[in-house]
Structure 1
């Protein structure tokens, strides 16, 4: 079994929240290997990738298999999000330089979720859209699923900066777009959203949040927090010690974080190329059901 060992704090969290223990990891990984590796000619799925899907489904193997099947159909079902993801592409390079989706380096505690800064504000006065932001977000999320145990075991929390966001961007936030985002994030990538903090809230945000809530459980609806330009309330949940200085924090600056994630995504160019090949090779087994699973929060 070639997977990372968890820290003691994360191991305990995994046992309590996602039904993971030393007894079931290898058994469930073996089931996933037998189900999927036979479907590829030149592509072998990493155990760590299998484990990310198992964790997102609380080690429900059948549910994990269905979600991984959906993942390998994303290039065809959501090409605007998942096709043409070469990090050296001119458009991808421009998007990475904007620093749109930036996971923070530190977590609040050893067993806390990963906090991700989503800078919707960077789309203002640019030629890019919410679809482009979503594409970069999913490219980054895949790296987190591979490399970040806090992300796979505990989940993520979002800090969304909406500074100067106006109608031209808010009008893109349609039920259709949000539905497709949630379908990909929850039904194919096992991203577990824990909370959402919206800062620099613009006028007209109420309608956008109402659309977002259509796809949330009652539990997660209570975990949406909205702030204007005063972040003091947010610091109770997302402390200054993990935030960049531009947001009142002490953990480096936005440019360094942007440069880090640009280089990180560039270093995974082979991963995105392999995804393309695997999607072309993959055939969904005839006997496997493909029912959509509901959004869950733990």
Structure 2
């Protein structure tokens, strides 16, 4: 992990690179935002610059994804996407995703993407999360053909690009549980767009989840995955987003042109 002096020197180098970029040098980007991009790319200025440029591009091309609507609450209430307040011993935040709980007639996959972006940015307000990263656990149970159909190739690519190449977050590892031959077809929709680095941290686990517990402590997993985390009501997550969304919007405003 970088000390303060090293981080400051990398920030200076980042600003120097930004000053030569005609696309970005007119934006008023604060140090907090730039450091977040440096941390997510392990202080590699070139990679941080690539991610930042891609973020500016997507937020200006797809402004609809970077906004709040009450439809987002439906994703939370469905229990598709959640995390527990505690961290792993390594300081990672654990996201639990259960795509099979999605009813496409209730909201679109685009709404799910909007929540994933906003949720990531709210969690990234915590500097420890910026430094230590995310562990994503995907419970594949319940995935059906209708989920694959209503996701589609274009959304699969968009989601992969956002979560792996653009959002300023580290992916420590990603875990798939309860996968079957049919659920594998859902994963196959995303695989062509996954980065090599993501594929290197992918893990598949049997239904008893004993191997998953080597990566994620049971106190950070629900009973359905062999854990004993206390259930967090949807209202808690909604309150967390509504409390912090304006902070995120101010960050996004720096990136708009």
TM norm structure 2: 0.81
1:137 corresponding residue in structure 2: 116
2:239 corresponding residue in structure 1: 263
Which residue of 28, 39, 42 corresponds with 1:58?
A: 42
1:104 corresponding residue in structure 2: 84
Instruction: Quickly say closer, same or farther: Cα 1:179–1:26, change in 2 above 3 A.
Output: same
Give me the whole-angstrom Cα distance separating, in 2, the residues matched to 1:135 and 1:200. Answer: 26
State the Cα deviation string for residues 251-290 of structure 1 (Å, max 9, x = none): 21142xx33322111112323433554344x3xxxxxxxx
2:4 corresponding residue in structure 1: 22
Which secondary structure does the structure 2 equivalent of 1:265 belong to?
helix
Is 1:252 the equivalent of 2:249? Answer: no
State the Cα deviation string for residues 168-208 of structure 1 (Å, max 9, x = none): 10224444323222222233213332322223335522223
Give me the whole-angstrom Cα distance separating, in 1, the residues matched to 2:176 and 2:151. Answer: 15
2:170 corresponding residue in structure 1: 192
1:213 corresponding residue in structure 2: 191
**Aligned 8 A contact 2:83 2:95 in 1:** yes
Is 1:232 the equivalent of 2:249? Answer: no
- Which sections of structure 2, spanning at least 5 residues, go unmatched? none
2:97 corresponding residue in structure 1: 118
Instruction: Quickly say closer, same or farther: Cα 1:167–1:80, change in 2 above 3 A.
Output: farther
Give me the whole-angstrom Cα distance separating, in 1, the residues matched to 2:113 and 2:9. Answer: 34
Instruction: Quickly say closer, same or farther: Cα 1:177–1:33, change in 2 above 3 A.
Output: same
How many residues are matched?
Answer: 252
Is 1:278 the equivalent of 2:257? Answer: no
1:69 corresponding residue in structure 2: 53
Give me the whole-angstrom Cα distance separating, in 1, the residues matched to 2:160 and 2:251. Answer: 20
**Aligned 8 A contact 1:244 1:252 in 2:** yes
State the Cα deviation string for residues 130-169 of structure 1 (Å, max 9, x = none): 33222211111112222151x3223222111233221110
Give me the whole-angstrom Cα distance separating, in 2, the residues matched to 1:227 and 1:273. Answer: 37
**Aligned 8 A contact 1:166 1:202 in 2:** no
119-128 or 155-164, which deviates more:
119-128
RMSD (Å) for aligned C-alpha atoms: 3.0
Q: How does 1:27-38 map to 2 (within 5 A)?
A: 27-32=9-14, 35=18
Give me the whole-angstrom Cα distance separating, in 2, the residues matched to 1:140 and 1:49. Answer: 16
Give me the whole-angstrom Cα distance separating, in 1, the residues matched to 2:216 and 2:92. Answer: 11
